[in-house]
Structure formats: structure tokens, C-alpha cells
Structure 1
Amino acid sequence: MLLLAAPNPNAANGGQETAPASQSPQPASEPSSSTSEPATEVASTSAAEQPASERGGASLKIQIGLAFFAFFLFGANDAIVGVLLPSLQGYYNVDKATLGIIFISGSIGYLLAVFNTGFLAPKLGNTRVLALGAASFASGGLAFGLQPPFFAIAIAPLLLGFGAAIVEAGLNSHLAKLPTKTALLNYLHAFFGLGALIGPVAASGMLWAGWGWNSIYFWLAGMTLILLPGFLWAFRADPSDAGDGAETDSEGGRNRIRQALQYRVVWLVAVFLLFYVGTELTLGNWSYSFLTEARNEDGFLAGWLVSGYWLGLTVGRVVLARLSARIGDKWLIQGGLLGTVSGVAVLWSAPNSAVAGMGLLLTGFSLSPILPTAVAFMSNLIPTRVLMSAISLLGSLSSIGKALFPWLAGNLAEGIGLAFLPHYVTVLVASMAIFWTILTLWAQRALASEPAVQEASEA
């Protein structure tokens, strides 16, 4: 996983937690049950729950390496869908609208995860929860690889979505507790982009070489199995892994979910990310079909052009990770929105393949900092004890956009063709801009009504 319009409390430091955590305020607009808690609670909770691995260099590096590899696989999984859609459509002999069940099922998997992560983590411990997520993700890849009948195909993306959501929430919350969380989270999501960059090229190359579409999922499942022993070993000494603790019952987990839902910032970020994820995945999943069907590009070349989009996401997250130290998160996001509109306009009017590739590259680069910065920003405003549940909620609620908007694009493509795709994405980006404005107005009111927030943001 940045997007709130309010000045970041750590804007002067690029969003990194170089200042004492006690400067991270609670917004005044939160419910009374939350705002009545002193602002220092976030700091004390963060300090108390800070993973010991933060102080163990070698162990921490292995954990971060596993996190990067996991997000690499998740990015590859999301990106190869666009390349494999024509193959899936031909194999099952269904239209684009019917094939949208893949997006819907994956979103359901994310939603199921949000109602389980909150109580699975304290009951089983983070290590076993991460292993469970990796096992579910590998099972989803295996299910796709076995080429089930179409009535059963929904099981595969459901398992993939459920596993990815659990692992993403656990790793995001783990890195969000570290001092350099803004940079780490941007690098983490850069590996998602790296996987999404390599995935379409590898998939289109394998298809071009005569491999079946299902063999690609066998490879994905096999690489995911590396995570199982890795998680069980590297996170074994994490103090947050003490399952069967004070809140081992499911009610304790549900309480954490309810507490996370009380924070207005969680809802605002989730709605914004709904349109962000919808924009990112619509382009990622349908631009290959757009290039091959509407622009008559060669399939292998189209795979490379789509990889340019994911390359932009990857490079942007690496390059822009610390740029907020100079311009602030607010201007970084506004510049990203402007660049996204420009990139879509280039794709819209592209006279040839090279220009279309530049448009996709610019769009991916401009979208890149939004998601990870949102997670880092939100972690400043809520207690650490509900951070994993809040991040899981973010992923699950925003995954509605991941399912809805690509599915709607498929339905529209059946009726009017894929030439409309740039117009459709423009509407999604405009919706992002509208909700960005709403976030800006909300943040200004929160700052005006809470002097402590204003003082911290100016520190």
C-alpha cells in the first residue's frame, strides 16, 4: 500500500518517523470513544508493540526480504491476469462480462480476509497467520493450474485474494511499526510493481513459446511455497507472535475491527483507494486487450507495452519514496493525479505503439506513490493495536474497486468495444480527484479544530 490532503505530521522528514512518535496526533473528528484517548496513546502503543526484530539487524533484513518477495509474487499475480484473459476466454468459451467472475471472486476473498484477520492474528500469532496466507495463495495458484471447469473456477481467485489480503495486512502492519516506515512501505510496494512488470512479459513470452496458460499458475504456486518455511523461521521470535494471548477469542478480534471502523480516516482513505485500485487494476488488466483488439498490436509487443505501465509503478515508488521530504505528501499526491491525467491523455491520443507505451509508463509512474503513502499516513493517526485490522479493512474495502471497475470495463467492452478504455479510466481518475478534494476539506477542518494537530504538522 500518501493520499490524505492534510499536511503529513512528518512532512518535513518525508513522512518518516524521525520525530518522536508522541507527535502523531489523533484527529479531532474521530468519534468520542477515540478522541477521548490521549494523543500519546498512539506513541505508547507503538513503542510497546514495536517488534523486537527492529533491534535484530539480520533477522529484520530477512523479514524485509521475505516481505519484498511476497509482494513481488502478488504483483505478478495481479498483472498476468490481463495477459491471460484472452486465453481464459478462449479456453472456457465465455465472453468478457462472464469472465469478470474472476475479479469478483478475488474481491470476495479479500472481504473474507478482513473478517478473519482481526481475530486470527491474536489467536494464532502473526507467524502462523502469514504462513496460512501463503498456503492459501499457493493453493489458489494450484487450483488455476489444474484448469477446473468454469463453474468451479471462482475458487481459485478466492483463495488467491484471501491469501494475499492476509499476508499484505500482516506485512504492511509489520513494516508500518518501523522508524523508516514511509520509505520501507514505498519500497515494499515497488516490489509489487516489479512483479507486475516482469509478470506480463514472462506470461506473454511463455504463451508465445507454446506453454499453456495454466502452467504460468503452476510456476506462481511453486514460488509461493518458498514463503512458507521463510515466514515460519524468520518471524518465529516476533513478540507479536504470541498467540493465545489476552485476546485469543474471536470476539476480541472483532472488537479490533469495530475499533478500526470508528476512525473516520480509515473510511476516507478506503474510499479514495477504492477509485485508486480501480484505476490501477483496470489499466493493468485491460490495457493488453485494448492494445491487441482496439489498436491491433502484436500480442508479444503488447505484453512489453503493458509492462511499461508496471515499470512506471515500480520506478515511481523507488524514486518518489523520499520526495515528500522536499515537497510534502499533499503536493506529491496532487502531482501524481495530474500526471495520471496526462498519461491517460497520451494513451488516448497515441498515434503509434511507442507513444502508447509512453502514456502507460507515465500513468504508472504518476499513480505509484499513492497507496503506500496512504498506509504510512494512516498509521500515524490510529493506535498500533488496531493497525493490522485497519490495514486489512483498507485492502478489503478498496478491493471492491479492484473487482467492480475491471468487471464493469469488461461489460462495457462487450457492448461498445475496448476503444472506450481511456475515456473510462479518465472518469475513474476524475472520481479520484473529487474524493481527494473531499479529503482536503476534511483535513483542513480537522486541523482547524485541533490545535495539537496543527502544531504537530508544522513541527
Structure 2
Amino acid sequence: MATFFLLIIYMAFISLGLPDSLLGSAWPVMQTDLGVPLETAGLLFMTVTAGTIVSSMASGTLLKWFGTGKLTLISCIMTAGALLGFAVAPSLVWLMLCAIPLGLGGGAVDAGLNNYVAAHYKAHHMSWLHCFWGVGATLGPIIMAQYISGPDSWRDGYLTVAGIQFALVILLFVTLPLWNRVAKNNHTALGEEKEDLHGAEDQRSESSVKPLQVRGVKLALVSFLFYSGAEATIGLWGSSFLVNMKEVPAAVGAQWVSLYYAGITVGRMITGFITFKVANRTLIRAGQITALAGAALLILPLPPVFSLAGFMITGLGLAPIYPCMLHETPVRFGRKHSQSIMGYQMAVAYVGSTFMPPLLGFLASLFGIGVFPFYIVLSAAAMLLFSEKLNAFLTARKNALKNNTTFTG
């Protein structure tokens, strides 16, 4: 039963990824249809992710009130209704209004399901959970491309995804009694797994320190900021870059962005197996270097097919970073603060995905969408820089503790 129920959770994460990539894929057509400036997509995206931040920060309280099953059901109803609103919205104002429940619902599902899987399933399922988000994010542009390439409109794409979300609502409603039952069955296994987790080498000197005051946390937070900013910026503006700079059709641009998400999806599926043999720190570093190389490929004045390769390589590079950084939290900062710090990390990640894509939209309105690849390269380089600074800090602390010397950081 636990395996069957895990498939339901994975399907819920597919539904979480579906709307995330729709706006960027449809925007070249939506912009013309609505008659609004290019950078308006950034405002819509910022509205969605602002709602996501609010609901994720409140998720702890909401989970206590409703439980994970009911909260997931309510959130999916909100996102399905919001997507239906996108499909019939007569103007930009209505799109902005529908973006609010879309973000609120998405944030609650994200925080709730991440918490549930971390609490009731083994650690490697975290990578696979985020892999299924990639499945949804990959399917979104594919679905949209089918409509905008033919006589149908972007509204039909949103309507189709809304229908998928409502189907999930029905499934979640039917399986609602299973949530507590599965949690109770997995309680013993959870206790054994928690005993196997290794905290940071020594947190004795920081036992009374607040989570944000733990040394090294700020470096981790900045890494999350640039990771989510880069991932979201590519998803939102990648299609516009391909259409306006590489002169590919809008439908082809949406399909190519879907392959970027496919790179993330395949990478996370593989990462779930690799984590049995390779350390998280190694996977994070390798992913950051790969993402930087893929982004650099977009800068070069090469034929459009190389841009496709750049998107896929960047997606593969980004794949292991987020789930591995989340899973590495207890190792980096100790079990005492890990839960609080993990919440801060997710909140900062949402801040990155809220403000960095609109910032590119503002820059594109001044200098043109050609700034897109430079923006991604700088984001990937900054993520690598702060992550390596954190690694150096952790290595120095470990050596100091091993040699029984005082570490001042």
C-alpha cells in the first residue's frame, strides 16, 4: 500500500510541475493576443510565486489544522480553479487575480508533500519526488505547443491542464483516508532512518544559536537563491529568447523548453540511484559546473540547434542540485537546526524564483532579450561560487574539529 500511495504523491507532484512551465511556453502568443509588453510575464510570474512564498511560510500552521491529505486536496482545488480562470480570463487584470490562488495552492502542495515524504519515506525518494515535478514541467510545454502550433489558442492549453488538475482532485478525494494510515505504517521505518542521519561534525558550541545565526547558513541560502532564480528564469524566458533571438517558431520554442525540463527530469531520476554511491557534495558541484557549461553554450553565436543542446545540458546540470542541497542540510548544519533551516532554504528559493525572472524581464525591456544567456551564466557562476565558499568553510571546520583546535570560521 505504501508503494501505491507513493505513486499518488508522485502524481500530485506532476500536477505541481504542470502549471510552472505553461506561462513561459505560451507567453510569445499570449503577449500578442493580450497586447501587453514583453516584461508583463514577469509580473504575472512574480504574483504566482509571491503567493507560493506566503503559503509555504504558513504551511506549518496549515498542516497542523488540516493534515497533509486535506491540505493537498484543497490546494489542488485552488490550482485547478486558477488554471480554469487563466483559460477564460478576458484581460490581464483577471490573469493577475487568478495568479494569486495558483501560487497559494502550489506553495502549500510543495511544502506539504516535501514534508510528508521526508517524514515517512526513505531519503532517496526526495530526488525522485522532484523528478516527477520535472515530468509535469516537461509535459506542460508539450501540451501547450500542441495547441499554439495549430488552430487552437493558448487558452485551450490552460483548459486541458485544468482538466488534468481536476482529475487529480477526484483521485485525492477518493484516497484521502489513506494518508494517516500510511503515515502510521511507516512510523517505525521513519524512526530507524532518522537514527542513521549524521548531523554536522560538532554543533556543541552552537546549541543556543538561532538557526539563521548558524555559521555557513547564509552561504547556503544564497546558493538556493541563485539556483531557483536560474531555473525559473530559463523556464519563463527561454521560449521568448528562442523566438526573438534564434528566430524559431513559437511552438518549437515551447517544445525546446520542454526538453530543458526533460533534462531536469531525467537527471533527477538518475540522481536517485547515484546517491547510493556518490556523495551529495560531489553531485552538487558536478551539477553546478555542468549547468554553467550549458548556459555558456547559449552565449555563443551558433546555429539554433546548439541552443537546444545548451538548454538540455543546463537542465541536466540543475537536476541534482536542489534535492541534494535539501538532503545535505542535516549534514551541513546538524539535526538540531535542520528542519528550521530547510524551511528558510525553501523560502529563499521561492524569493529567487519570484524576483530574478522579473528582473530579467526589466533588463530585457531596456537591452533586449539577448541579455538572457549572460544573465543565466552569471546566476550559475554565483551559485557555484557561494556553494564552494560553503564547502571550504565546512572542510575547514571539520579539520579544526579533527585536530581538536578552535574553529573561528
Same-fold status (TM-score > 0.5): yes
Answer yes or no: is 1:123 the counterpart of 2:65.
Answer: yes
Give the alignment partner of residue 191 of structure 1, picking from 132, 136, 140.
132
* Paired amino acid for 1:233: P
Q: Work out whether residues 306 and 360 of structure 1, in 8 Å CA contact, stay in contact via their aligned partners in 2.
A: yes
- Structure 2 distance, partners of 1:444, 1:104, is 37
Give the alignment partner of residue 347 of structure 1, picking from 272, 286, 298.
298
In the TM superposition, what is the alpha-carbon distance from 1:402 to its structure 2 partner?
0.7
- Structure 2 distance, partners of 1:91, 1:99, is 13
Answer yes or no: is 1:219 the counterpart of 2:170.
Answer: no
- Structure 2 distance, partners of 1:179, 1:362, is 30
* Paired amino acid for 1:132: I
Answer yes or no: is 1:321 the counterpart of 2:302.
Answer: no
Say which SS state the counterpart of residue 177 (structure 1) adopts: helix
* Paired amino acid for 1:323: I
- Structure 2 distance, partners of 1:268, 1:178, is 29
Partner of 1:160: 102
In the TM superposition, what is the alpha-carbon distance from 1:160 to its structure 2 partner?
1.6
Partner of 1:208: 149
- Structure 2 distance, partners of 1:99, 1:285, is 8
Partner of 1:361: 312
CA distance 1:154–1:396, shift in 2 (3 Å): farther
Answer yes or no: is 1:94 the counterpart of 2:36.
Answer: yes
Q: Deviations over 1:19-73 (max 9, x none)?
A: xxxxxxxxxxxxxxxxxxxxxxxxxxxxxxxxxxxxxxx1x22331122112212
Answer yes or no: is 1:443 the counterpart of 2:387.
Answer: no
Answer yes or no: is 1:423 the counterpart of 2:374.
Answer: yes
Tell me the C-alpha RMSD between the 2 structures.
2.8
Partner of 2:189: none
* Paired amino acid for 1:416: F
Moved more, 373-382 or 189-198: 373-382
CA distance 1:144–1:394, shift in 2 (3 Å): farther
- Structure 2 distance, partners of 1:265, 1:230, is 44
In the TM superposition, what is the alpha-carbon distance from 1:384 to its structure 2 partner?
9.2
- Structure 2 distance, partners of 1:312, 1:203, is 18
TM-score (normalizing by structure 2): 0.84
Partner of 1:330: 281
Question: Percent of aligned positions with the same letter in both sequences?
Answer: 25
- Structure 2 distance, partners of 1:372, 1:70, is 17
- Structure 2 distance, partners of 1:142, 1:204, is 18
Q: Deviations over 1:388-409 (max 9, x none)?
A: x655543332111112111111
- Structure 1 distance, partners of 2:402, 2:159, is 55
- Structure 2 distance, partners of 1:123, 1:356, is 47
- Structure 2 distance, partners of 1:356, 1:267, is 34
In the TM superposition, what is the alpha-carbon distance from 1:425 to its structure 2 partner?
0.7
In the TM superposition, what is the alpha-carbon distance from 1:208 to its structure 2 partner?
1.4
Partner of 2:203: none
CA distance 1:223–1:302, shift in 2 (3 Å): same
- Structure 2 distance, partners of 1:355, 1:137, is 35
CA distance 1:233–1:377, shift in 2 (3 Å): same
- Structure 2 distance, partners of 1:266, 1:231, is 39
Partner of 2:323: 372
Q: Deviations over 1:87-126 (max 9, x none)?
A: 2212322112233211211121122113421212122222
Answer yes or no: is 1:295 the counterpart of 2:219.
Answer: no
Partner of 2:190: none
Q: Work out whether residues 56 and 347 of structure 2, in 8 Å CA contact, stay in contact via their aligned partners in 1.
A: yes
In the TM superposition, what is the alpha-carbon distance from 1:305 to its structure 2 partner?
1.9
- Structure 1 distance, partners of 2:34, 2:272, is 42
What are the ranges of 5 or more consecutive residues in structure 1 without an aligned counterpart? Answer: 1-57, 241-257, 453-459
Say which SS state the counterpart of residue 273 (structure 2) adopts: coil
TM-score (normalizing by structure 1): 0.75
What are the ranges of 5 or more consecutive residues in structure 2 without an aligned counterpart? Answer: 185-208, 404-409
In the TM superposition, what is the alpha-carbon distance from 1:327 to its structure 2 partner?
3.6
Answer yes or no: is 1:144 the counterpart of 2:86.
Answer: yes
Q: Deviations over 1:208-246 (max 9, x none)?
A: 122222222222222222244155233142558xxxxxx
- Structure 2 distance, partners of 1:110, 1:149, is 23
* Paired amino acid for 1:107: T
* Paired amino acid for 1:121: L
Say which SS state the counterpart of residue 326 (structure 1) adopts: coil
In the TM superposition, what is the alpha-carbon distance from 1:316 to its structure 2 partner?
0.8
Partner of 1:397: 348
In the TM superposition, what is the alpha-carbon distance from 1:339 to its structure 2 partner?
0.9
In the TM superposition, what is the alpha-carbon distance from 1:324 to its structure 2 partner?
3.7
CA distance 1:374–1:357, shift in 2 (3 Å): same
Moved more, 312-321 or 146-155: 146-155
- Structure 1 distance, partners of 2:317, 2:56, is 29
- Structure 1 distance, partners of 2:68, 2:211, is 18
Partner of 1:6: none
- Structure 2 distance, partners of 1:283, 1:234, is 37
